[in-house]
């Protein structure tokens, strides 16, 4: 039988009533003739509660025990979902990560999937099981310890299972009814897209759109797994949600697919750094080792033999970045006159595969922002993306103006 993967996020399984609602959706797919693998998250709020308990118990916790505790939320949901399906006379059983087994690296709380052997679950399908309910977010290390994949890891679990079992599709059920051209809370004219290319979704996810975890989109693109994002609170329909697929599966698309934003950005500038070969490595290696997620980078010539280096990072990593650079200066690895942090900026990005073959997108974007009196602080581009940093107070105005200018409320 063909395999379908269905993933239900925390809000979709937040209560027993919602688990029953999700189970009914699973039953509809079983009735269509699918063997179904259901990936579940912990009930809404449960993971945060478990993390809080760990921190309260042991501020300097053992990462192995942290994973053992925080992964337990998914185990509860998996068991409850399997019981609910059994009450509906659907042959189902729950699987924890180690039982599959979902094999991962040893990096606790941020493990990466190495392999998902299919023998155990396929054997149970052959014996009459119709639904395998798998606890998302977790696996087992080579040392035999429970590992977790990082926040949002259940999306990655679902895509990985779809790839391993050559599933017809991977349906991600959440509290939104698809992927929008921008955040509907910021722009009321935002439009739900029927389809979006993997590359566009990957850029949007990495730029702040929180519909899908970035790693899950990377996996889907690599293994050509068709993803469908849809709401677990709307009536079932074959045309519901947004299909994330290969570019060639989209007949025609807008030049710009969407506008993304990231509110909590900081712009940091090293003033008057020695301009010499290797200076960039001397700056960004300590930042990398400190776990600072650097995004936009701009270098400007300041004076003879000196340069200014500007980069962006999340606001909650500013202090870590400052310490890493100050330590590097103390050790003599780099020398700079000042380190200026601007924590009042936001990143605005336009994304679209059509930008590969159409010119003028950047010019139009800059003109629109200029006409609204919005000053651009930093610019970076890629083949299908243009990102700028602007004052945070202008974030919503910038998103709305760009959405209107590129007429994203209209389909291609």
406 is in an annotated binding site: no
74 is in an annotated binding site: yes
From start to end of 119-277, where are the E strands? 131-135, 138-140, 146-148, 169-174, 195-197, 227-231, 242-245, 258-274
Residue pair 294/312 in contact (Cβ under 8 Å)? The answer is yes
226 is in an annotated binding site: no
Whether omega before 306 lies within 30 degrees of 0, making that bond cis, reads no
7 is in an annotated binding site: yes
Q: Quote the DSSP letter at residue 282.
A: H
265 is in an annotated binding site: no
Q: What is the rounded distance in angstroms from the CA atom of residue 25 to the CA atom of residue 27?
A: 5
344 is in an annotated binding site: no
Residue pair 12/44 in contact (Cβ under 8 Å)? The answer is no
Q: CA dist 65 to 45, 46, 57, 101, 148, Å? A: 20, 17, 11, 19, 11
366 is in an annotated binding site: no
364 is in an annotated binding site: no
Q: Quote the DSSP letter at residue 214.
A: H
Q: Give Cβ neighbours of residue 296 (< 8 Å, ≥ 6 apart).
A: 310, 311, 312, 347, 378, 380, 387, 389
For residue 217, give the nearest of 231, 202, 207, 228 by alpha carbon: 202
For residue 268, give the nearest of 250, 231, 293, 235 by alpha carbon: 293
47 is in an annotated binding site: yes
156 is in an annotated binding site: no
Q: At what angle do helices 72-87 and 63-70 cross, to 10 degrees?
A: 20
Starting at the earlier edge strand, list the strands of the sheet with 297-303: 297-303, 306-314, 258-274, 338-351, 385-391, 378-382
Q: Which residues are annotated as a binding site for substrate?
A: 47, 74
Q: Which residues are annotated as a binding site?
A: 7-10, 47, 74, 174-175, 180, 185, 210-211
Q: Which residues are annotated as a binding site for ATP?
A: 7-10, 174-175, 180, 185, 210-211
């Amino acid at each position: 039988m063909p395999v379908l993967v269905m993933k239900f996020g925390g809000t979709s399984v937040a209560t027993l009533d919602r688990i029953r609602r999700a189970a009914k959706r699973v039953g509809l797919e079983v009735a269509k003739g699918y063997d179904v693998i259901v990936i579940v998250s912990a009930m809404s709020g449960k993971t945060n509660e478990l993390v809080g308990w760990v921190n309260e118990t042991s501020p300097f916790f053992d990462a192995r025990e942290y994973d053992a505790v925080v992964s337990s939320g998914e185990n509860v949901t998996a068991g409850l979902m399997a019981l609910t399906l059994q009450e509906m006379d659907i042959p189902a059983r729950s699987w924890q990560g180690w039982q599959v087994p979902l094999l991962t690296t040893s990096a606790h709380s941020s493990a990466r999937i190495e392999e998902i052997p299919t023998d155990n679950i396929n054997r149970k399908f052959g014996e009459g099981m119709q639904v395998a309910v798998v606890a998302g977010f977790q696996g087992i290390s080579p040392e035999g310890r429970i590992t977790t994949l990082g926040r949002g890891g259940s999306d990655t679990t679902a895509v990985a299972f779809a790839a391993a079992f050559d599933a017809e599709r991977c349906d991600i059920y959440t509290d939104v009814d698809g992927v929008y051209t921008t955040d509907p809370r910021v722009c009321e004219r935002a439009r739900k897209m029927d389809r979006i290319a993997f590359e566009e979704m990957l850029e949007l996810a990495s730029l702040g759109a929180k519909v899908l975890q970035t790693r899950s989109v990377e996996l889907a693109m690599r293994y050509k797994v068709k993803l469908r994002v849809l709401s677990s609170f709307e009536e079932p329909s074959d045309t519901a949600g947004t299909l994330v697929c290969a570019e060639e599966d989209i007949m025609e698309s807008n030049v710009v697919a969407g506008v993304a934003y990231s509110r909590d950005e900081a712009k940091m500038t090293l003033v008057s750094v020695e301009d010499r070969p290797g200076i960039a490595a001397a700056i960004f290696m300590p930042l990398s080792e400190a776990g600072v997620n650097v995004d936009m980078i701009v270098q400007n010539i300041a004076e003879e033999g000196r340069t200014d280096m500007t980069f962006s990072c999340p606001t909650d990593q500013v202090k870590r970045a400052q310490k890493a650079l100050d330590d590097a200066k103390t050790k003599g690895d780099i020398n700079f006159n000042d380190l200026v942090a601007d924590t009042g900026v936001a990143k605005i990005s336009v994304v679209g595969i059509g930008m590969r073959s159409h010119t003028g997108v950047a010019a139009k974007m800059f003109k629109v922002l200029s006409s609204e009196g919005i000053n651009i602080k930093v610019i970076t581009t890629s083949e299908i993306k243009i990102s700028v940093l602007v004052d945070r107070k202008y974030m919503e105005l910038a998103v709305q103006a760009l959405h209107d200018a590129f007429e994203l409320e209209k389909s291609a």
